Chains A and B, each alone.
Chain A
Amino acid sequence: MSGPASGRRRKQRPVLKVQDLAVTYDIQQGGLLRRHTRPLNAVDGISFELARGETLGVVGESGCGKSTLARALLGLVQPRRGRVLWLGEDLVGLDEKTLRKKRKELQIIFQDPLASLNPRMTVHDIIAEPLWTFYPKIARVQVEERVRGMMKMVGLLPNQINRYPHEFSGGQCQRIGIARALVLNPRLIICDEPVSALDVSIQAQIINLLKDLQRKLALSLIFIAHDLAVVKHISDRVMVMYLGRAMEVSSAPNLYRRPLHPYTSALVKAVPIPDPAARRRTATSGLRGDMPSPLDPPAGCVFHPRCPYAVKRCEIEVPPLRRLPQGDWVACHLAEELDLTIVKSG
Chain B
Amino acid sequence: MKSSELTGNEREAVAGEIDPFEAALRLGDVKGRSPWEDAWHRLLKNRAAVTAAIIMGVMILVVVIGPWVISWDMDYTDWDHTNSPPSLANGHWFGTDAVGRDILVRTLEGGRISLLVGFVATIVSLLIGVSYGAIAGYYGGVTDRVMMRLVDIIYALPFMFFVILLMVVFGRNIVLIFVAIGAVNWLDMARIVRGQTLSLKRMEFVEAARACGVENRDIIRRHIVPNLLGVVMVYVTLTIPQVILVESFLSFLGLGVQEPMSSWGALVSDGAQDMESAPWTLVFPAVFLTVTLYCFNYIGDGLRDALDPKDRL
Q: Smallest distance from the beta carbon of B32 to chain A beta carbons, Å? A: 3
* Mask: chain B, 203-228; 1 = CB below 8 Å from A; 0 = not: 11101111111110010001100110
Instruction: Tell whether A234 is near chain B: CB-to-CB under 8 Å.
Output: no
Separation of A76 and B204 alpha carbons in the complex (Å): 12
Instruction: Tell whether A120 is near chain B: CB-to-CB under 8 Å.
Output: yes
Report A-chain residues with C-beta under 8 Å of the C-beta of B211: 74, 76, 103, 107-108
Given contacts A108-B208, A115-B203, A134-B213, contact A158 B34 (CB under 8 A): no
Instruction: Tell whether A25 is near chain B: CB-to-CB under 8 Å.
Output: no
Instruction: Tell whether A48 is near chain B: CB-to-CB under 8 Å.
Output: no
A114–B313 touching, CB < 8 Å: yes
Instruction: Tell whether A177 is near chain B: CB-to-CB under 8 Å.
Output: yes
Instruction: Tell whether A133 is near chain B: CB-to-CB under 8 Å.
Output: yes
B313–A119 touching, CB < 8 Å: yes
Given contacts A115-B203, A119-B227, A180-B208, contact A101 B213 (CB under 8 A): yes
Instruction: Tell whether A100 is near chain B: CB-to-CB under 8 Å.
Output: yes
Separation of A304 and B210 alpha carbons in the complex (Å): 39
Separation of A118 and B13 alpha carbons in the complex (Å): 24
Given contacts A114-B313, A120-B227, contact A163 B32 (CB under 8 A): yes
Interface size range of chain A in the complex: 35 or more
Report A-chain residues with C-beta under 8 Å of the C-beta of B34: 120, 122, 164
Q: Smallest distance from the beta carbon of A341 to chain B beta carbons, Å? A: 40
* Mask: chain B, 1-44; 1 = CB below 8 Å from A; 0 = not: 01000000000010001000100110111111111100000000
B205–A117 touching, CB < 8 Å: yes
Identify which of B207, B218, B226, B309 contacts A133 (C-beta below 8 A). B218
Separation of A200 and B34 alpha carbons in the complex (Å): 29
Given contacts A117-B205, A118-B223, A129-B222, contact A162 B32 (CB under 8 A): yes
B27–A159 touching, CB < 8 Å: yes
A163–B222 touching, CB < 8 Å: no
Separation of A115 and B309 alpha carbons in the complex (Å): 13
A157–B32 touching, CB < 8 Å: no
Given contacts A122-B32, A159-B28, contact A166 B312 (CB under 8 A): yes
Report A-chain residues with C-beta under 8 Å of the C-beta of B226: 118, 120-121
Q: Smallest distance from the beta carbon of A174 to chain B beta carbons, Å? A: 12
Separation of A184 and B213 alpha carbons in the complex (Å): 11
A157–B213 touching, CB < 8 Å: no
Q: Smallest distance from the beta carbon of A111 to chain B beta carbons, Å? A: 8
Separation of A129 and B222 alpha carbons in the complex (Å): 10
Q: Smallest distance from the beta carbon of A316 to chain B beta carbons, Å? A: 40
Q: Smallest distance from the beta carbon of A228 to chain B beta carbons, Å? A: 24
B222–A119 touching, CB < 8 Å: no
Instruction: Tell whether A175 is near chain B: CB-to-CB under 8 Å.
Output: no
Q: Smallest distance from the beta carbon of A122 to chain B beta carbons, Å? A: 6
Nearest to A124 among chain B residues (CB) is B32
B205–A115 touching, CB < 8 Å: yes
Separation of A278 and B74 alpha carbons in the complex (Å): 94
Separation of A21 and B129 alpha carbons in the complex (Å): 41
Separation of A110 and B215 alpha carbons in the complex (Å): 20
Separation of A37 and B304 alpha carbons in the complex (Å): 40
Instruction: Tell whether A112 is near chain B: CB-to-CB under 8 Å.
Output: yes
Given contacts A159-B24, A159-B27, A159-B29, contact A103 B212 (CB under 8 A): yes
Separation of A130 and B222 alpha carbons in the complex (Å): 13
B210–A164 touching, CB < 8 Å: no
Jot down 28 A-B pairs with beta carbons below 8 A, ordered by A. Answer: A103-B211, A103-B212, A110-B204, A112-B204, A116-B208, A117-B208, A118-B205, A118-B222, A119-B35, A119-B309, A119-B313, A120-B34, A120-B226, A122-B34, A123-B32, A133-B214, A158-B25, A159-B25, A159-B28, A159-B29, A159-B30, A160-B30, A162-B31, A162-B32, A164-B32, A164-B33, A164-B34, A167-B33
A interface residues, Cβ below 8 angstroms from B? 71, 74, 76, 100-101, 103-104, 107-108, 110-112, 114-123, 129-130, 133-134, 157-164, 166-167, 177, 180, 184
Q: Given A120-B227, A121-B222, A129-B209, 7 more contacts at CB 8 Å?
A: A100-B213, A103-B212, A119-B35, A133-B215, A134-B213, A161-B29, A167-B2
